């Protein structure tokens, strides 16, 4: 099967309940995913401080929301929780088990995404059988400070040109920057989509921010993004 078709979404949302703690993660994800056309968005549950029981319960509730919205659900790092909650796949951080080991546990039917920060890591993920990769930070992240230096649009596009699997741009991605990335590089050199945390969940109106992001990458009609809260 073509791995690009397996990861056919265009916007990869990553949870961080600290960004939107006032409304609650479940309510926030429900309202945001309801604003997306089915099949265009995937949601990664990434709450690294939660224990297995709490994470599993949260994953089960998000499984219902994602199914209703026609969105894929992936679980960060925890392969056991992904299987138990019937998620569509797992997302592996750079320091997690590799895609080869994860595939043995997940089987062929579930997606494997990998976080990458260099062309070497991107190439290794592809060789190991990952279905898609997140690459970045492209710009300085919105939802946190510090960390790795931003590679910039040129670094992202260079990496995309050398990678056969879908690549999603992460780090400081706003609708304006997403539009710029998709306008450059041609079809073979641009990302398959974008990944976002703060630019969607930290917006004054996350559903409007989501619609604006999708419009920026050529999906749906334009909308005004909400103002960032942090």
pLDDT classification of 20: cutoffs 50, 70, 90:
low
pLDDT of residue 223: 39
pLDDT classification of 230: cutoffs 50, 70, 90:
very low
**Model pTM score:** 0.91
**Do residues 140 and 150 touch, judged by C-beta distance below 8 A?**
yes
Q: What are phi and psi of 57, to 5 degrees?
A: -60, -40
Q: pLDDT tens-digit profile of 111-138? A: 999 999 999 999 999 999 999 999 999 9
Q: What would the two tokens of residue 41 be? A: 């968005």
**Do residues 171 and 146 touch, judged by C-beta distance below 8 A?**
no
* CB-count exposure of residue 26 (10 Å: 0-12, 13-18, 19+): middle
| Domains present along the chain, CATH in parentheses | 3-216 (3.20.20.70)
**Do residues 48 and 77 touch, judged by C-beta distance below 8 A?**
yes
pLDDT of residue 184: 80
Name the CA radius of gyration of the chain, rounded: 16
Ordered alpha helix ranges (H), the chain: 3-6, 25-34, 52-69, 79-84, 99-106, 119-127, 152-161, 175-183, 186-189, 198-201, 206-216
Q: pLDDT tens-digit profile of 49-74? A: 999 999 999 999 999 999 999 999 99
- Nearest CA to 26 out of 62, 72, 77 is that of 62
**Residue 133: other Cβ atoms inside 10 A:** 30
Residues in a beta bridge with 44: 14, 74
Least confident of 52-56, 145-149, 161-165: 145-149
pLDDT of 143 strictly over 80: no
Q: What percent of the chain has pLDDT over 70?
A: 88
């Amino acid at each position: 099967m073509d791995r690009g078709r397996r990861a056919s979404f265009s916007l990869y949302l990553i949870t961080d309940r600290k960004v939107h703690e006032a409304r609650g993660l479940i309510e926030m994800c429900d309202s945001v995913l309801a604003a997306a056309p089915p099949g265009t968005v995937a949601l990664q549950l990434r709450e690294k401080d939660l224990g297995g029981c709490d994470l599993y319960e949260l994953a089960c509730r998000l499984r219902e929301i994602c199914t209703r919205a026609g969105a894929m659900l992936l679980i960060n790092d925890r392969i056991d929780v992904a299987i138990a909650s019937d998620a569509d796949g797992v997302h592996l951080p750079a320091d997690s088990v590799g895609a080869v080991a994860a595939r043995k546990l997940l089987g062929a039917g579930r997606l494997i995404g990998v976080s990458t920060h260099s062309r070497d890591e991107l190439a290794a993920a592809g060789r190991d059988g990952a279905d898609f990769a997140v690459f970045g930070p492209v710009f300085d992240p919105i939802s946190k400070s510090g960390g790795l230096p931003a590679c910039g649009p040129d670094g992202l596009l260079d990496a995309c040109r050398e990678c056969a699997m879908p690549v999603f741009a992460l780090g400081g991605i706003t609708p304006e920057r997403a539009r710029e990335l998709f306008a450059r590089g041609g079809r073979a050199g641009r990302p398959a989509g974008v990944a976002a945390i703060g630019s969607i969940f930290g917006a004054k109106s996350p559903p409007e921010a989501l619609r604006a992001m999708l419009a920026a990458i050529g999906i749906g009609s334009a909308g005004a993004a909400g103002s960032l809260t942090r």
